[in-house]
Amino acid sequence: MHNPPHALPHRFARPGGLGFVSYVVVALVILWSLEGAGWSMDRLLSSPPKLADFFSRAWPPSTHNLDRLAWKMVETLQIAVAGAAIGIILSLPIALLAARNVLVGRGINQMVRVLLGFIRAVPDLAWALVFVVAVGLGPFAGMLAIAIDTIGFCGRFFADDMENTDPGPAEALTATGAKRIDIAASAIIPAAMPAFISTSLFALEKAVRSSTILGLVGAGGIGIELKVGFDLFDYPTALTVILMIAVVVIGVEQIGAVLRQKIMGTAR
């Protein structure tokens, strides 16, 4: 049955009563949020000259302390790689407990998922503050914060990856009387391995982005140089740090994208 000549396409159909009320509620929530966030058109319109003044005072980027900044960037990458590696390794046994119908029952699944949800809910800067209190200032606190944050990220996605594997091989092993741990090691984990690797690469990219700002709270890395640059109104150095962070983060993301394509191509 065809629509009348002047009827609106389906995607532009007028919403029903409940749909219209939903749209109004969403619009009101957005307006309420803008008010709470201090939205100001006057301040927004007055910001371009101030931003232009910042860049005029920051340009050209400083080259006086490149050696020190480079070593801080290396430290940042060390924090990210070490923290992500520890987090990824610890995520696998945790994910086995979080994945439904793999090792344990639904009660333990739910408890582990709640724990992972709590870890993800706490920002990485907050974890860095916690570990600065626990182990003191420096990159070790940052590494631990990245590790915990990675567990929250990878633990959840590893569990989902295992749940989404083809159930056929696992069911065949179950029919032979194999134990759950043997089924997980022989069928579920190998099937989910390409997804594990892809998720791990995303976790590493996330760790690199996070580690660049952990220095703001004393957890090592180049973030402290950015904070000092702004505190001392040394805008050329601050701009240098921003550009270094951008180059490193974009580079890691590009490498991760290439590796993911190769992995997914091999998996097919």
Stretch 128-136: mean pLDDT, rounded? 88
Range of the domain at 109: 66-267
pLDDT of residue 170: 73
Work out the pLDDT band at 222, boundaries 50, 70, 90.
Answer: confident
Residue 150: inside a domain? yes
- DSSP H or E stretch at residue 68: helix 66-98
What span, in angstroms and rounded, lies between the C-alpha atoms of 217 and 224? 8
How confident is the model over 165-221, as pLDDT tens digits? 777 777 777 777 777 777 777 777 788 888 888 888 888 888 888 888 888 887 777
Domain count, the chain: 1
- Count the neighbouring beta carbons within 10 Å of the beta carbon of residue 210: 26
Residue 109: inside a domain? yes
Residue 183: inside a domain? yes
Residue 244: inside a domain? yes
Residue 75: inside a domain? yes
CATH number at residue 233: 1.10.3720.10
What span, in angstroms and rounded, lies between the C-alpha atoms of 209 and 76? 10
User: Does residue 241 carry a pLDDT above 80?
Assistant: yes
Work out the pLDDT band at 93, boundaries 50, 70, 90.
Answer: confident
What secondary structure letter does DSSP report for 185?
I
Residue 191: inside a domain? yes
Contact between 146 and 84 under an 8 Å Cβ cutoff? The reply is yes
Mean residue pLDDT of the chain comes to 81
What span, in angstroms and rounded, lies between the C-alpha atoms of 166 and 163? 9
Query: E strands, 22-102, where?
Result: none
